[in-house]
């Protein structure tokens, strides 16, 4: 990486651009799953012994960036942005545009940009950041050669995907006061504070995997809190909506966030008026019942679309089971106000999982290999019954030709290799359910695994019936490749059907259902404005469909975007009417 402003490339080749335009991550691809699982495991092990945040204490922390003297201030928020080029560049070009026309209101580009987490998918590296984030953002807003022009400031919160290398690449990219296209990084650690006009504050915290607040970070924010006055208002940025996790799975996930608010912010007499986060790749807003506090999930910067139809309608925070709830304040109730896409659209989009074999050919090959193993196990057992010579090719072919469907299934479960394969498939089904060892998850996973085993037998029986006329061992020549092809395709479709049904009936595997599709559309960002009167207005910006084809513009004016869409215009709109919040918390109609 270099901090020099790169010249405009002469063509759109990877060598000229300096980055490769990436496609959306294929989250059910075996190679991606295996590689990510290894990185996650290493990260969790090393994170337990070496916390990068504590090492950052050796680097002098930047004092809060002071923008309080501005009469008014525009700034932007985007999260979950480092994935496919089409969606990432589309949102980057909106953030880079001098103004956005939102229902007749001209909103200027922000003086600062906050990236809310997960800047690189699936795992971080310098090359990954370059291809999936830095390159697209540099192309959307090239760094000006005029050094006298003020660059918009950039602040970044790391997400769990940024943590998968222990935050090493994140620190090199975002904590060295360098340029990301036309934006300029400001922070030296993985957390930051900005003093905004009219007694507003912007705090970005780093809660590694919801574990705890490290002591250097806590001391940093306690120092920031000493500069606050009673009645100040805080915009708090974190990497995941712990309030949603609380409602769905883990009451402990909210405890760290609750602890920070109680012991740092509210202790100083300030109040969190707005919470911003990503991690879930959609737009959702929860409003305080009888109050003005707002919690936003705005993870639409570039990653695959997440479902909205399973979000809880009401929240009670902090939850009763939390290990660190407030003992003095009563629970606060929140109501789900708006989502993008809406719940009915989300349910409709779930049906796109039927295209899974086309979207993930590696998964077809893997499941085809499982069918091949099943065919070899069943064939060996059938051959043993036919001639008493297990493993002999003529015996296997003759046994398959003679066996009934029941006989094939018996051959699968009446041998040690067959039992091992059956247990592996059933175990994989239960593991896929991903909701712990609850009765519902075990039942759903086991049913899916059993269905896959039955399918393997039926596919083998059908293929044998088709190639039955082939003589001798030629039967095997016809059976084995067809089992791989037909078995892989049908098993992948069965998996797709399971994901759809599990979400529809049991509320399981909703994330996998949408991650497997890699939907690049329904993106969002937030444009925020602190006006001269001290009111904060939030403009939720949505894009229903991002362009998929781009024209390189080598002869455009320097400092302007490198690409323009050719298949459809980029059409931002207001997801809902702007939300206005006063610094004092007085309700605004």
State both tokens at 334.
């929140």
* Res 96: pLDDT: 93
The end-to-end CA distance of the chain, in Å, is: 48
State both tokens at 213.
């607040």
Are the CB atoms for 409 and 459 separated by under 8 Å? no
- Partners of residue 76 on adjacent β-strands: 113, 527
Sheet of 332-340, strand order: 65-66, 192-196, 200-204, 233-237, 271-277, 294-298, 283-288, 332-340, 314-317
CA dist., res. 375 & res. 457, Å (int): 8
Are the CB atoms for 536 and 580 separated by under 8 Å? yes
Hunting for tokens 């950052």 — which residue is that?
Answer: 56
* Res 390: pLDDT: 43
- What letters, b where the CB count within 10 A reaches 16 and e where it falls short, cover 158-170? bbbbbbbbbbebb
Those residues whose C-beta lies under 8 Å from the C-beta of residue 210, and which sit 6 or more positions away, are 240, 242, 245, 250, 252, 253, 256
Residue of 213, 41, 18 lying closest to 123 (CA atoms): 41
Are the CB atoms for 299 and 281 separated by under 8 Å? yes
Q: What fold is seen in the domain 14-353+521-581?
A: Purple Acid Phosphatase; chain A, domain 2 (3.60.21)
CA dist., res. 304 & res. 210, Å (int): 23
Residue of 178, 186, 191, 188 lying closest to 126 (CA atoms): 178
* Res 43: pLDDT: 59
Helix (H), strand (E) at residue 391: none
Return the sign of the alpha-carbon dihedral for residues 323, 324, 327, 328: negative
Q: Where are the domains of the chain?
A: 14-353+521-581, 361-515
Are the CB atoms for 563 and 92 separated by under 8 Å? no
State both tokens at 289.
């019942």
> pTM score, two decimals?
0.90
CA dist., res. 292 & res. 287, Å (int): 7
Are the CB atoms for 115 and 173 separated by under 8 Å? no
Helix (H), strand (E) at residue 275: strand 271-277
* Res 481: pLDDT: 85
* Res 5: pLDDT: 63
* Res 480: pLDDT: 84
| Helix and strand counts by DSSP (H, E) for the chain | 19, 22
Between the CA atoms of 285, 288, 290 and 292, what dihedral angle is there, to the nearest 10 degrees?
-80
* Res 391: pLDDT: 46
Return the sign of the alpha-carbon dihedral for residues 10, 11, 12, 13: negative
Tell me how crowded residue 535 is: count the other CB atoms within 10 A of its CB.
18
* Res 400: pLDDT: 73
User: What is the number of residues in the chain?
Assistant: 589
* Res 341: pLDDT: 96
Residue of 254, 257, 368, 370 lying closest to 320 (CA atoms): 254
DSSP-derived secondary structure for 49-92:
T--HHHHGGGSPPPPPEE-TT-SSEEEEEE-S--S-HHHHHHHH
CA dist., res. 39 & res. 55, Å (int): 21
Residue of 273, 209, 185, 267 lying closest to 235 (CA atoms): 273
pLDDT one digit per residue (tens) for the chain, 589 residues? 556 667 788 888 888 888 889 898 888 888 777 776 666 666 555 555 556 666 666 566 778 899 999 889 999 999 999 899 999 999 999 999 999 999 889 999 999 999 998 888 888 888 888 999 999 999 999 887 666 567 899 999 998 888 887 788 888 888 888 888 889 998 988 899 999 999 999 999 988 765 678 888 899 999 999 999 999 999 999 988 988 865 445 656 788 888 899 999 999 999 999 999 999 999 999 999 988 899 999 999 999 999 999 999 999 888 776 655 555 578 889 999 999 999 999 999 999 999 999 999 999 999 999 998 888 887 777 666 554 444 466 677 777 776 777 877 887 878 888 889 899 999 999 988 876 668 888 899 999 999 999 999 898 888 888 877 777 677 777 778 888 899 999 999 999 999 999 999 988 999 999 999 999 999 999 999 999 999 999 999 999 999 999 999 887 777 788 999 999 999 999 999 999 998 776 656 6
Gyration radius of the chain over CA positions = 27
Three-class HEC string of 472-541: CCHHHHHHHHHHHHHHHHHHHHHHHHHHHHHHHHHCCCHHHHHHCCCCCCCEEEEEEEECCCCCEEEEEE
User: ω into residue 318 within 30 of 0, thus cis?
Assistant: yes
CA dist., res. 331 & res. 319, Å (int): 8
CA dist., res. 265 & res. 228, Å (int): 9
Strands 153-156 and 179-180, bridge-based pairing: unpaired
């Amino acid at each position: 990486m270099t901090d020099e402003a790169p010249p405009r490339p002469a063509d759109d080749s990877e060598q000229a651009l300096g980055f490769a335009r990436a496609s959306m991550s294929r989250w059910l691809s075996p190679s991606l799953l295996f590689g990510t699982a290894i990185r996650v495991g290493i990260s969790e092990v090393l994170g337990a012994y070496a916390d990068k945040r504590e090492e950052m204490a050796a680097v002098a922390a930047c004092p809060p960036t002071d923008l309080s003297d501005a009469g008014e201030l525009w700034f932007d928020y985007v999260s979950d942005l480092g994935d496919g080029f089409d969606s990432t560049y589309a949102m980057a070009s909106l953030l880079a545009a001098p103004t956005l026309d939102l229902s007749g209101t001209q909103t200027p580009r922000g003086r600062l940009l906050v990236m809310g987490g997960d800047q690189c998918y699936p795992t971080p590296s310098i090359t990954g950041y370059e291809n999936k984030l830095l390159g697209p953002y540099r192309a959307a807003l090239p760094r000006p050669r005029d050094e006298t022009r003020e660059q918009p400031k950039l602040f970044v919160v790391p997400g769990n995907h940024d943590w998968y290398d222990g935050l090493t690449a994140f620190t090199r990219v975002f904590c060295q006061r360098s340029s990301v296209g036309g934006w300029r990084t400001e922070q030296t650690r993985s957390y930051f504070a900005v003093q905004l006009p009219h007694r507003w504050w912007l705090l970005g915290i780093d809660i590694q995997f919801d574990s705890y607040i490290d002591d250097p970070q806590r001391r940093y924010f306690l120092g920031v809190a000493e500069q606050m006055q009673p009645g100040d208002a805080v915009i708090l940025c974190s990497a995941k909506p712990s309030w949603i996790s609380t409602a769905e799975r883990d009451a402990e996930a909210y405890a760290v966030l609750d602890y920070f608010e109680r012991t740092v912010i509210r202790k100083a007499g300030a109040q969190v008026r707005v919470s911003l986060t990503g991690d879930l790749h959609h737009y959702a807003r929860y409003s305080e019942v009888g109050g003005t506090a707002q919690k936003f999930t705005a993870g639409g910067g570039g990653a695959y679309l997440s479902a909205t139809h399973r979000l809880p309608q009401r929240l009670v925070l902090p939850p009763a089971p939390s290990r660190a709830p407030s003992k003095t304040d009563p629970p606060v109730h929140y109501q789900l106000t708006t989502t993008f896409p809406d719940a009915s659209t989300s349910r409709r989009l779930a049906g796109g999982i039927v295209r899974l074999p086309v979207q993930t050919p590696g998964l077809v090959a893997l499941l085809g290999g499982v069918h091949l193993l099943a065919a070899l196990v069943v064939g060996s057992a059938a051959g043993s019954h036919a001639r008493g010579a297990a493993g002999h090719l003529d015996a296997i072919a003759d046994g398959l030709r003679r066996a009934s469907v029941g006989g094939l299934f018996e051959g699968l479960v009446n041998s040690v290799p067959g039992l091992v394969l059956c247990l592996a498939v059933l175990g994989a089904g239960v593991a896929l359910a991903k909701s712990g060892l609850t009765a519902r998850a075990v039942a759903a996973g086991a049913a899916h695994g059993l269905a896959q085993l039955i399918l393997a037998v039926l596919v083998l029986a059908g293929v044998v019936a088709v190639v039955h006329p082939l003589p001798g061992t030629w039967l095997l020549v016809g059976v084995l490749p067809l089992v791989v092809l037909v078995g892989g395709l049908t098993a992948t479709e069965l998996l797709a059907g399971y994901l759809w049904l599990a979400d529809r009936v049991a509320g399981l595997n909703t994330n996998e259902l949408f991650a497997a599709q890699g939907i690049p559309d329904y993106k969002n960002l937030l444009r925020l404005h602190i006006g001269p009167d001290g009111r904060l207005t939030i403009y939720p910006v949505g894009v229903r469909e991002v362009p998929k084809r781009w024209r390189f513009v080598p002869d455009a004016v320097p400092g302007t975007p490198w690409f323009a869409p050719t298949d459809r215009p980029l059409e931002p709109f207001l997801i809902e009417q702007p939300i206005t919040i006063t610094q004092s918390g007085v309700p605004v109609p």
